[in-house]
Structure 1
Amino acid sequence: MITFLSYGMAALGLTVLMRAGQVSFGHAMYAAIGGYAVASVARSFPAVDAVVVLLAGVLASVVAGSLAAAFLSRYRGIFFGMLNLGISMVLFALVGKLYHWTGGTDGLRFERPTILGMALERGEFELTVLLLTLGLAIAVAWFVQRYFASAAGQMMSAIKTNETRLEYIGISARKSLAEGYVISSALVGLAGSLIALVQGLVTPESGYWIRSGEYVFIAILGGAGHAVGAFLGAGVFEVIKLVAAAYFTNAWQILLGTTLIAVIFFAPHGMMGWLQRRGTQRERKA
């Protein structure tokens, strides 16, 4: 459940960029940055609280996202997506090489921190993190949906539909995309921080391009029309992985690929878009 909710928040970060017609193939790097920040703070300050390490993970992702946005916000389309991928692969390689700071391919393991000053056993700790993750997921979905409806969110949509007209009325498309990019990096960083916290471990694989591909898969599967779509896509993704691992051990990727192809053909706006269209059709009939 924690993984499902965390993946939903990460996919929601990709959804923010998809509103502007941009897709990042390297956004898992912010999950890795958040996770390594959590591990580093927890190892350096053993008495620190879980809330503090989560804030450190999100802050590290926001700082990194702000630096990247200053450069990447001028690019669009395939250039935007591939530049993100390139930066993430450079980061992945560095994390694997800098063993003294990152633990190399073994990653960083840390002791379970306290939560709000309470030292909990593993079961209680995981339950508390689950409740915390659920609360954060609801808050994040509400915030992103409000963002979509705000002027800033409408400007992100305008980048996709007619960026030139946006510039003509005196609004900087680059600034709007940069703001959306920072929000996106914060959401993915929060997801990576939560996963690292509950596992007590972070490895370079958390920022690998395959993980980025999973986030994109979930975002497309759920659709960018509503914030809930990312969590719907994450839930379906986790169910497919569990069923495929149980019954199609050597061919689970085929099942995932087939599902994505079916969604693109029959629900091009994602599952949420399909549900919204069905709801509209029912209202018209009524």
Structure 2
Amino acid sequence: MGMTTPRPLWAMLLLPLVVSGVSTEEPTSGEAVAPSLPGGCLRCCDSGDALAPTDAADAASVSALPYALPEVRPYINITILKGEKGDRGPLGTPGKLGKEGPRGDRGPQGIKGTKGQAGSPGSPCHTRSSAFSVGRKTALHSSEDFQPLLFDTVFVNPDGHFDMAAGHFVTPLRGLYFFSLNVHSWNFKETYMHVVHNEEAAVILYAQPSDRSIMQSQSMMLALAPGDRVWVRLFKRERENAVYSDDVDTYITFSGHLIKPEDD
């Protein structure tokens, strides 16, 4: 009964020849000799199954090898492990506003638009002006405490806003008005006059008694409403109050005009 050499012992006897890379046969003429690989003859393409131990004896033999066999890891197809798409999460907190970017270049000029339709007719034209200028060629002595100054000469009164009979300018429009009063004093007599807005004195024109008569003037601006009245009166006190004029020259004038109308 013969004894057979165990396969693990045979593999260990053959291993030094494989490791050293020495061929056991002489190369024949014309046959290429494969170069020896340092550190072992294991090829990269060798399958791990060819060297896998088949029993306990083989495992013991493999563990005694001077080099490590490559680890064989199972291949797992991860595509089959992909789960279902989950629900959408809650909206996150908005981030901070970024810095303002540089101003871009000016774009090309656009195409000219078509002409629009004509608008509806406007409202009828309203009078937006007012002016007057009147004078007096007759001297006047005050005979009562408040005596209206009447005028007998019209320089400008295009719209009839100055009432010559009452000596009043009646405001046609709301707005700012300018007025001026010019008189000539009488020798040795006092000249004391009011420019009146409705029934209240707005400004005073005054000249003391003197041996020489002089020209005196007063001007003002008033904010008036439609229907307001502006006029002139003499104010009598203890002294005689008078203004001078004659039939040749006009020494007394009263003028006014609208500066800026205002909407009602």
TM over 0.5: no
Structure label with greater radius of gyration = 2
Q: TM-score range by the shorter chain?
A: under 0.3
TM-score by length of 2: 0.18
**Between Structure 1 and Structure 2, which shows a larger proportion of helix residues?**
1
**Between Structure 1 and Structure 2, which shows a larger proportion of strand residues?**
2
Higher relative contact order (CA 8 A, sep 6+): 1
